Chains A and B, each alone.
Chain A
Amino acid sequence: MIETHHSQPATSRGTTLRTEEMIVNMGPQHPSTHGVLRLELVVDGEIVVDVIPHLGYLHRCFEKHAEQMSNYQQVVPYVDRMDYVSSMGNEFSYVVAAEKLLKIQVPERVEYIRVIMAELQRIASHQIAIGTYGIDIGAFTPFLLLFKDRERILDLFEEVCGARLLYNYFWIGGLSHDLPPGWVEKAKAFCEYLKPNIVELNGLLTYNKIFISRTANVGVLPKQVAINYACSGPMLRGSGVDWDLRRDDPYSVYHKIDWDVCVGRGEVGTVGDCWDRNIVRVHEMEQSLRIIEQALAQLPEGDVKAALPKRIMPVASEAYGRTEAPRGELGFYIISDGTGSPYRIKARGPSFVNLSVVTEISRGAMIADLVAILGSTDIVLGEVDR
């Protein structure tokens, strides 16, 4: 319990007005910590002097659980629950790592479907990121408009695998189900539907004058700092670093598709400010649509379970597989001891790494800026704590 101070004001004791820093707890129950993150703020009035993040409120022992599984396939549903707004992205990364360990090649059709799903998931994830960022800045309407569009993506996912949030769709060596009939047309229709809505979003939020004044030149993350802190994803690209695993460490069939990597250019402020991180997400949604449209056009026929091993029994070895998840580099380091269950799985979550830089860039900002900075890092606590 906080003690109430009914003491005399400092002036009446004959001294000048004494000011001191105040420690405020932001979270674990706070609307803009995007989950159960607790930030210990040292504030001087409205100015943030220091930020100390406290983690672990959502720790679910993912890595230990994974060791207890009787086979590699059973880890996939656990992986889903890490970054729960981009489950397809998590699964993608895990199966890439597991297939690297098993040294198996999956059919072309599987790769294409995976890319389509991962990019749809990226759009859905960025929609949440931009929408909640709008809420952080005080605009509620874009959030609901984006959720309306995201709902259509979830409908597409539901049709494919029956689940709307946690899919268990990517299996090692294949997929749980093939695309249902008519799905490709629906996905194409969705791409056409979304394009004008991104333009509308830009008018409503991205280029709104108040939004720009709240985010431009705020929380500037210089290129070098971003690299030093191992930031990845839109956080890194927002700082002007041209780095995307889909292009720079190609996996799946991304190399067969024509698309661009989006980087922050400091259009309305400094390179690496909150606005840049947000605009990178907006542009990535457009690029994802490009990828999906091409992948749908190139989608080959075939079986989606061809390479699915009957019993996954890798030789004693280790492998690191990484993909570009919506929030950045998501990697899984798997060590096998030759038995059916993994000896050790280590996850490298982008949210966790990106969060570590928040302290660095929010010193000296105002409380409202801190909210803007935290929102622009787009962390998901399910992945920070795992």
Chain B
Amino acid sequence: MDQFLQSIFGDSILTQLLLGVLPLVFVLVYALVTLYSEMKIAAHIQDRLAYMRTGWHGVLQPFADMLKLLQKEDIIPTAADKLLFILAPYVVFIGTYAAFAVLPFSSAYAGSSLDLGLFYIIAVSAVVVVGILMAGWASNNKWSLFGAIRSASQIISYEIPAALAVLAVVMITGTMNMNEITKFQAGGIQNWLIFGGPLPLGHKLFLLPVMIVLALIYYVCSMAEVNRTPFDIPEAESELVQGYNTEYTGMKFAIFYLAEYANLFVVSAIAVVLFFGGWSSPFGSFMSGPIWDLFWFTFKGMLLVFVNVWLRWTLPRLRVDQLMYVSWKVLVPFALVCVVLVGAIMVL
């Protein structure tokens, strides 16, 4: 992709800009698709129809929603800390969007083939917490503050098992470059890391259960990081009204939502890269190539997003202390044991 753009625009700043904007286009299209499909999936789970009137089966509804949010009055509470209040949604979005820089969408396109890709992604997604804390504090609303504090403690707790799961993968692949990790798993579904990667059969058999547990740990943590049910404690609408974004209206509110949906894809994409072969085709060299790669990456990512949506509309919400329990007393010990096991298997 870089070469293609360079061949058109030369080695100018325009090339770099276009490369940077590409994921934004993806995020916007993806957000609209996910918004629509989440409502439709929820409706099917709940035995109803959802949008049916705006366009064919309501496909225009996300656009209508967006238009509505654009027209909304932009309210800043009088007692709010104005600067932080205005900045917060952008900080949240930047933290999320920065992660797209290293996502390898296809063998031909990754914003940046950073050697510290995974480390970078874990680091920038922590910026989201800062934005949420800013939003909660600046709103000058006690419920918002509750939401922000819960969010901070939740994301900090869940980054540890998530990072341990990532660590285990890095121990196997020997690289933090997301493109390299994907290439490591090339050659078909049997080479995906969730099935033990392209290692000798003996290693694979031992790795298989460990990797499945690690994938589960990572996925649970990713749900907590994007504040989705059963971990939607920071915005638990029945307890905290709407959590940290209670006081937000119009486009600022929309940006929070956009960031949430974008983040949902980021964590799913990381899971895809770590455990499900990234952009590589499940059929080896069949159906592979730059365009197919893009398809597989998006398809796998969306599949995980679907699972997330499915769980969201099925499960109740945990309580704050139960959330901490799950992280510190269940996920962290299991992840530690898994890391040790992976290390032992790799040495043997």
Chain A residues in contact with chain B, CB under 8 A? 1-4, 22, 24, 30-32, 46, 134-141, 144-145, 148, 204-205, 208, 210-211, 213-214, 366-369, 371
Contacts and interface: CB of A to CB of B under 8 A. Distances in A.
A214 B319 contact: yes
Given A46-B146, A368-B236, 4 more contacts: A139-B314, A141-B314, A368-B233, A368-B320
Contacts of B229: 138
A148 B239 contact: no
Nearest to A46: B320
Nearest to A136: B238
Contacts of A369: 319
Nearest to A372: B319
Interface of B: 42, 45-48, 78-81, 140, 142-143, 146, 229-230, 232-233, 236-241, 313-322
A1 B140 CA distance: 10
Contact of B142 (A22, A31, A141, A213): A22
Contacts of A144: 46-48
Given A138-B238, A144-B47, A210 B314 contact: no
A137 B230 CA distance: 10
Contacts of B81: 4
Contacts of A24: 142-143
Contact of A208 (B140, B236, B316, B320): B316
A97 B318 CA distance: 45
Contacts of A205: 316
Nearest to A215: B316
Contacts of B314: 139, 141, 204
Give the 9 A-B residue pairs with the shortest CB-CB distance, closest first.
A138-B317, A139-B316, A32-B238, A144-B46, A137-B316, A138-B316, A368-B319, A210-B316, A136-B238
Nearest to B45: A141
Contacts of A1: 78-79
Given A31-B237, A145-B46, A367-B239, A210 B143 contact: no
Contact of A210 (B236, B239, B318): B318
* Main SS class of interface, B: loop
B79 A4 contact: yes
A214 B233 CA distance: 13
B47 A214 contact: no
Given A4-B140, A30-B241, A366-B319, A138 B236 contact: yes
Nearest to B323: A368
Contacts, number: 87
A138 B237 CA distance: 8
B46 A141 contact: yes
Contacts of B233: 368
Nearest to A24: B142
Contact of A367 (B42, B146, B316): B146
Contacts of A368: 233, 236, 239, 317, 319-320
A128 B278 CA distance: 45
Contacts of A2: 79, 140
A213 B314 CA distance: 16
B318 A213 contact: yes
Contacts of A134: 316
A369 B236 CA distance: 13
B316 A145 contact: no
Contacts of B230: 138, 210
A4 B142 CA distance: 11
21 contacts: A1-B78, A2-B140, A22-B142, A31-B238, A31-B241, A32-B239, A46-B146, A137-B317, A138-B232, A138-B236, A138-B315, A138-B317, A144-B46, A144-B47, A144-B48, A145-B47, A148-B47, A204-B314, A214-B317, A368-B239, A371-B238
A176 B10 CA distance: 84
Contacts of B317: 137-139, 210, 214, 368
Contacts of A371: 238-239
B319 A141 contact: no
A148 B317 CA distance: 23
B246 to A, nearest CB: 11
A245 to B, nearest CB: 32
Contacts of B42: 140-141
Given A4-B81, A148-B47, A214-B319, A141 B241 contact: no
Nearest to A3: B79
Contacts of A148: 47-48
**Of B42, B143, B237, B317, which is in contact with the most chain A CB atoms at under 10 Å from its CB?**
B317
